[in-house]
């Protein structure tokens, strides 16, 4: 595995060159919130655009943009109010709060302490004599508690109606399923994507934009019929994947490199939908510039798997000597839609048409409400609903003289004769099914951090250390820099006109006429601009320009009227700089030394 820069190097470069920095610094800042500067905002936007092109456009999925604040019942149904917790331990000496599982990981080398039960974490804190990172006091004996990460707010004036900032974009898709299925013409499978902000009140934000309280997610929720829908794996079967399965984590070895086809046939990847998305995700990550020697897919251990997930794998990248999750791939089953169906006033199903109508026996009830109403008052409607459910699942419950149902924890005995129970033969053309959900969820901020870390390079040019970011052209904040050798003798005017032409042709352009040419090259190298165009004296004479490659620092001279076409070829991978160097005059003497005046 190749070695990357330190975290301090990445954070220093990010702040100095305008990628990202702590927010509200003029007021002392607040942990867990970051502002993207000009370079970072462009890089982040390009990552989002690349994700949208691959997972929304090419996969023919719908796209949604839902609110970031949602009412409390949404999160009661989803389970976030009860289960969206982290382990908190508070120092008795200084009052600082910390993620207990993170402290355990730092002290022991355990990779996924969040999968451990709280009593075991408390034992490790005591046995390892773990101390408070803030003041050094012992945390042994301090209770580890669950802390809900939801940001609460009020909707409307005064106390209003309780609401929460969404902790994931997924719920905005799930709650709109009744309308979305109509837009998809009630045909499964169909997918819905969303890129947007999510909010988590992290106990101890850390490592810059790796763990923050406001983050950006790119999520896809694919709705499938579990009995009939299967992915087409032919296009990704030969994709090589570094798979770190549960079995591998139990042993001494690391990830095993396998083709996706082999992983499915050998049962390493049991769910074909997850296998499919791991395949296209691996190709996408390589395309945008993730170092695949510092990348793996890790299967969740049973203790860390979400309660709704039948299986879950994370995409992980190595940065600063540590593995971080940058995406998760979960098979959520019918959990989400079933939970919202229980709490909402809508149907969360899709009608599955049979090939031929079938005749079946159906147990039904038609309760006598003139009896239930006076007898049970406000509970009557709930009793009628529960009788209908009971008839579907247990006909024999109606064999006796009375039926017992439970509503809101209270049992009611209903005479069978007033339930209207009957078994009838009916002809049906189909049935309503609750779709299952496959979810690839990508952390955009962590992907941005990974790309900066993995793109960082150092070499030596003209006896000086050069630092640059080898971004892929698709995601680089700026695609081309334009420089007049000097702002005189018509060179500045020609360079300005050329910059305008390139912008009008769809390229992101940085124009720089400040300082010597070597310094200007270095500035663009350090923010990852792939190519530089220089207008010099020869340009004024014969209307040619020089084109410089960031990674190799090689330069060629070409006619200015051919520049736009050649840059398009470079931008979309139809040619490499080496191809152009074979075709045009390559310059052997270059002004690269940033100390030149």
Q: Where are the domains of the chain?
A: 85-148, 353-430, 478-587
Among all chains, which residue has been given the structure tokens 């709109």? Answer: 176
* Banded pLDDT at 289 (limits 50, 70, 90): very high
Residue 11, Cα to own-chain centre: how many angstroms?
Answer: 21
Q: Helices (H), strands (E): how many in the chain?
A: 20, 29
Reported confidence tier of residue 357, pLDDT bands at 50, 70, 90: confident
Please determine, for residue 595, whether its predicted confidence score (pLDDT) is greater than 50: no
- Look at residue 589 in the predicted model and tell me its pLDDT: 60
- Is 452 within 8 Å of 14 (Cβ atoms)? yes
CA-nearest of 287, 234, 284, 290 to 264 is 234
Omega of the bond leading into 459 within 30 degrees of 0 (cis) = no
| Mean per-residue pLDDT, 390-412 | 93
Contact call for residues 33 and 23 (beta carbons, < 8 A): yes
Contact 91, 135 (CB under 8 A): yes
3-state DSSP helix/strand/coil percent for the chain, to nearest 5? 35, 30, 35
DSSP-based three-state secondary structure for 485: coil
pLDDT given at position 42: 98
Looking at the predicted structure, is the pLDDT value of residue 239 above 50?
yes
Instruction: Kindly give the interhelix angle for 118-127 and 100-108, rounded to the nearest 10 degrees.
Output: 50
Residue 427 buriedness (CB in 10 A; 0-12 / 13-18 / 19+): exposed
pTM of structure: 0.86
Q: What is the pLDDT of residue 426?
A: 85
Q: Which of 263, 256, 267, 255 is nearest to 237 (CA)?
A: 263
Per-residue burial over 163-197, b if 16 or more Cβ lie within 10 Å, else e, is: bbbbbbbbbbbbbebbebbeebeeebbbbbbbbbe
Residues 547-564 pLDDT 10s: 999 999 999 999 999 999
Q: Which of 50, 2, 67 is nearest to 473 (CA)?
A: 50
Using CB atoms within 10 Å of the CB of residue 396, give its burial: 0 to 12 exposed, 13 to 18 middle, 19+ buried.
exposed
Alpha carbons 458 and 456: distance in angstroms, whole number: 7
> What backbone phi and psi angles, to 5 degrees, belong to 71?
-70, 160
By the 10 Å C-beta count (0-12 exposed, 13-18 middle, 19+ buried), 553 is classed as middle
Residues 6+ apart with CB under 8 A from 265: none
The rounded distance, in Å, linking the Cα atoms of 414 and 375 is 10
Confidence of residue 166 (pLDDT cuts 50, 70, 90): very high
Range of lowest pLDDT (84-88, 467-471, 491-495): 84-88
Confidence bin at 345 (pLDDT 50/70/90): confident
- The 10 Å CB-count burial string (b at 16+, else e) for 21-44 is bbbeeeeeeeebebebbebbebbb
Q: Helix H segments across 61-176?
A: 72-78, 80-83, 100-108, 118-127, 170-174
**Neighbouring C-beta atoms of residue 83, cutoff 10 Å:** 12
Compute CA 229 distance to the chain's CA centroid, rounded to the nearest angstrom: 24
Distance CA 502, CA 235 (A): 36
Query: If one looks up domain 85-148 in CATH, what number appears?
Result: 3.30.40.230
**Strand 509-511 to 480-484 pairing:** parallel
Whole-number percent of the chain with pLDDT over 90: 85
Residue 398 in 3-state DSSP?
helix
Question: Rounded distance, CA 277 to CA 189, Å?
Answer: 14
Cβ–Cβ contacts within 10 Å for residue 342, how many?
Answer: 9
Q: What is the pLDDT of residue 6?
A: 92
Average of pLDDT values for 55-59?
Answer: 98
Q: How far apart are CA 527 and CA 445, in angstroms?
A: 17
Indicate the range of 43-57, 244-258, 267-281, 489-503 predicted with least confidence. 244-258
pLDDT band at residue 1, thresholds of 50, 70 and 90?
low
Q: Record the tokens describing residue 222, joined without a space.
A: 């694919």
**Mean predicted lDDT score pLDDT of the chain:** 93
CA 565 to each of CA 361, 547, 559, 569, 586: distance values in angstroms, whole numbers, following the listed order: 69, 13, 11, 6, 18
* 455 or 105, which is more confident: 455
Rounded to an integer, what distance in angstroms lies between the CA atom of residue 143 and that of residue 112? 20
**Which fold would CATH assign to domain 478-587?**
Rossmann fold (3.40.50)
> Is the per-residue pLDDT at 37 higher than 70?
yes
Query: Residue 138 CB: number of other CB atoms within 10 A?
Result: 15
Give just the sign of the alpha carbon dihedral 584, 586, 591, 594.
positive
Distance CA 401, CA 205 (A): 62
pLDDT at 597 over 80: no
The per-residue pLDDT for 594 is 44
Question: Cα–Cα distances in Å, from 558 out to 67, 154, 296, 545, 563?
Answer: 50, 62, 42, 6, 7
Q: Give the integer Cα–Cα distance in Å for 410 and 545.
A: 84
- pLDDT of res. 355: 80
Lowest-pLDDT choice from 99-113, 197-211, 507-521:
99-113
**pLDDT classification of 592: cutoffs 50, 70, 90:** low
Please tell me the distance from the alpha carbon of residue 569 to that of residue 472, in angstroms, as a whole number.
14
* Local confidence band at 593 (pLDDT 50, 70, 90 cut-offs): low
Determine the average pLDDT of the residues in 403-432.
Answer: 91
Helix 380-393 to helix 369-376 angle (10° resolution) is 120
Q: Give the integer Cα–Cα distance in Å for 358 and 364.
A: 18
């Amino acid at each position: 595995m190749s070695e990357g820069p330190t975290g301090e190097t990445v954070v220093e470069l990010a702040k100095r060159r305008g990628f990202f920095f702590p927010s509200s610094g003029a007021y002392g800042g607040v942990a867990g919130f970051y502002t993207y500067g000009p370079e970072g905002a462009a890089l982040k936007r390009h990552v989002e655009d690349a994700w949208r092109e691959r997972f929304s456009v090419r996969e023919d999925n719908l796209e949604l943009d839902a609110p970031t604040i949602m009412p409390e019942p949404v999160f009661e149904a989803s389970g976030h109010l009860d289960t969206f917790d982290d382990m908190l331990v508070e120092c008795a000496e200084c009052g600082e709060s910390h993620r207990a599982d993170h402290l355990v990981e730092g002290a022991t080398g355990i990779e996924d302490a969040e999968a451990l039960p709280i009593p075991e974490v408390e034992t490790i804190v005591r046995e390892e004599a773990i101390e408070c990172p803030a003041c050094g006091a012992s945390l042994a004996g301090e209770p580890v508690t669950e802390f809900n990460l939801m940001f609460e707010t009020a909707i409307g004036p005064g106390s209003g109606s309780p609401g929460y900032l969404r902790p994931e974009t997924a719920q905005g898709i799930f709650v709109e399923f009744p309308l979305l299925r109509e837009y998809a013409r009630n045909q499964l499978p169909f997918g819905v994507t969303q890129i947007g902000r999510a909010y988590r009140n992290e106990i101890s934000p850390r490592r810059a934009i790796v763990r923050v309280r406001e983050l950006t997610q790119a999520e896809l929720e694919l709705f499938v019929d579990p009995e009939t829908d299967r992915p087409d794996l032919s296009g990704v079967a030969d994709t090589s994947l570094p798979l770190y399965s549960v079995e591998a984590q139990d042993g001494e070895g690391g990830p095993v490199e396998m083709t996706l086809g082999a992983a499915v046939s050998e049962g390493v990847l049991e769910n074909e939908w997850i296998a499919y998305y791991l395949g296209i995700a691996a190709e996408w990550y390589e395309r945008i510039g993730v170092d695949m020697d510092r990348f793996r897919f890790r299967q969740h251990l049973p203790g860390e798997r979400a309660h709704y997930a039948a299986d879950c794998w994370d995409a992980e990248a190595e940065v600063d000597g540590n593995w971080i999750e940058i995406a998760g791939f979960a098979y959520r089953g019918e959990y989400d839609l079933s939970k919202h169906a229980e709490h909402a006033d809508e149907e969360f199903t899709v009608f599955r048409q049979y090939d031929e109508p079938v005749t079946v026996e159906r147990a039904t009830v038609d309760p006598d409400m003139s009896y239930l109403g006076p007898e049970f008052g406000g509970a009557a409607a709930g009793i009628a609903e529960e009788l209908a459910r009971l008839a579907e699942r247990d006909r024999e419950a109606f064999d006796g003289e009375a039926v017992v149902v439970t509503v809101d924890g209270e049992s009611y005995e209903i005479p069978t004769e007033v339930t209207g129970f009957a078994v009838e033969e009916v002809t049906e053309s189909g049935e309503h099914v609750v779709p299952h959900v496959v979810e690839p969820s990508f952390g955009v901020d962590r992907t941005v951090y990974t790309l900066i870390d993995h793109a960082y390079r150092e070499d030596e040019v003209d006896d000086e250390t050069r630092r640059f970011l080898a971004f892929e052209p698709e995601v680089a904040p700026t695609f081309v820099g334009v420089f007049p050798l000097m702002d005189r003798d018509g060179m500045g005017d020609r360079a300005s006109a050329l910059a305008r032409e390139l912008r009008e042709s769809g390229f992101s352009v940085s124009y720089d006429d400040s300082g010597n040419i070597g310094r200007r090259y270095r500035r663009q190298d350090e923010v990852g601009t792939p190519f530089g165009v220089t207008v010099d004296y020869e340009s004024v004479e014969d209307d040619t320009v020089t084109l410089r490659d960031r990674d190799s620092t090689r330069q060629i001279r070409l006619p200015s009227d051919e520049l736009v076409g050649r840059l398009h070829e470079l931008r979309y991978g139809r040619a490499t700089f080496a191809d152009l160097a074979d075709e045009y005059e390559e310059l052997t003497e270059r002004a690269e030394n940033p100390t030149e005046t």
